[in-house]
Amino acid sequence: MQKAMKWLEANGVAYQFHDYRESGIDRKTITNWLKHLPVEKVINTRSTTFRELPPEEREAISGKEAAIKLIMASPTVVKRPLWDFGGDSFFLGWDEKEIQKLCSR
């Protein structure tokens, strides 16, 4: 996240940061993410929160409804940064060249 924000600031790109870990996230937003991004990409399987889940819960998360419930209960399982460029254009992770292309649209 820090690398992404530093890059945005250094390149004069206006952005709005939403810390869903502190501010929470609503079902509508998560549902929209999962329309455009696969569950297995949105869920950070390396997060402590995910690794501490019982195995049966981890396996059940491949479904969208289970993923939505998990994210609403524990937003720290979302892989970051998750970019929303508007118009149903999303990108997950950090790839400077890809972000530069998406920001220059």
Residue range 6-59, pLDDT digits in tens: 999 999 999 999 988 788 899 999 999 999 999 999 999 999 999 999 998 888
User: Cα torsion for 93, 41, 64, 24, to the nearest 10°?
Assistant: -30
Give 61-94 pLDDT, tens digit per residue: 878 999 999 999 999 899 999 999 999 999 999 9
Helices (H) and strands (E) in the chain, counts: 8, 2
Whether 105 maps to a domain, the answer reads: no
Whether 104 maps to a domain, the answer reads: no
Q: Tally the domains of the chain.
A: 1
Amino acid at 73: A
Whether 69 maps to a domain, the answer reads: yes
Whether 14 maps to a domain, the answer reads: yes
24 alpha-carbon distance from chain centroid = 13
Whether 15 maps to a domain, the answer reads: yes
Amino acid at 59: E
Domain CATH number, residue 52: 3.40.30.10
Residues 6+ apart with CB under 8 A from 64: 31, 34, 39
Domain that holds residue 31: 2-99
